[in-house]
Amino acid sequence: MLQQIDLGGGFTFPGTSMTVNRVGYGAMQLAGPGVWGPPRDMDAAIAVLREAVEAGVNHIDTSDFYGPHVTNQIIKQALHPYPERLVIVTKLGARRAPDRSWLPALSRQELIDGVHDNLKNLGLERLDVVNLRVGGFSEPLEASIEEPMTVLAELQRQGLIRHIGLSNVTPKQLAQAQSIAKIVCIQNFYNVAQRNDDAFVDDLETQGVAYVPFFPLGGFTPLQSSELNAAAASLKATPMQVALAWLLQRSPNILLIPGTSSVEHLRENLKTAAITIPSDALAELDAVGRSSGRTTKAAH
């Protein structure tokens, strides 16, 4: 049996009994190229999930619009019946068109259908956490989210959803959502170079709300900087491990969900929690955010 490793200690979602290790797993890359269709190697995809859970990962991020349906079906095939403490977080608010484009799916019926699709493909009677995904591709759009939030709150009262989160939102949208239902997590675009949410991260920490960065390694344009390379060399780690370790040290409410379809890459990601970046290297990495034109924590 694979020995479990330190995955950054525990974080308890506010007002819940759900405690997860801070290093989790994002399932998007389990689907085929372009997050469309089945993976090239189904056995490898299943092996990644099983090794992640065996190593101690108890927080998996997914969505039924990955594939579509593919990643949830792989998760079910690999892990069902699920370990008792495994938390599966899924997303609603988008759908895939036949031409593989990504389209909004925020109408009442689309949200209801999305919940039932997730339940069916994951093999669950109730979803642990559902993130309402709004806004643009990677940046929030300031607009009312009252209607879709009201639908999710109704589904929560019906017992189909345990807890609600938000993705790609602004502080104003969070406040609007909190007037409708309790919010346990925020999932926004954030990494060592993309720092627009610095003040938001700090505010959420005071509230005890989880902040889960998407594109923690830069997304479709991987992070590259001399500061990352230098820190990685001094720590005998990879630049991407350092970028993830920086997020863990940035704030205790940050949870990581790096994704991969490779067992070897998974093992690299899981070692992140064992890396401690010294203060001088942290200062150098702060320059990455400044040089990219983003706001840094020091500015607040």
Q: Known catalytic residues? A: 66
Residues in the chain: 300
Please check whether residue 96 is in contact with residue 128, taking contact to mean a CB–CB distance below 8 angstroms: no
Backbone angles phi, psi at 196, to 5 degrees: -60, -25
CB neighbours of 114 closer than 8 A, spacing ≥ 6? 64, 65, 92, 93, 95, 105
CA distance 127 to 159: 9
Which of 266, 300, 297, 271 is closest to 192 using CA atoms? 297
CA distance 189 to 201: 11
Tell me the sheet residues that pair with 88.
60
Q: Which helix (H) or strand (E) holds 59?
A: strand 59-61
Helix (H, G, I), strand (E, B), or coil: what is residue 226? helix
Please check whether residue 209 is in contact with residue 263, taking contact to mean a CB–CB distance below 8 angstroms: no
Around Cβ 284, how many Cβ atoms within 10 Å?
Answer: 18
**Angle (nearest 5°) at CA 17 between 12 and 22:** 25
Around Cβ 86, how many Cβ atoms within 10 Å?
Answer: 16
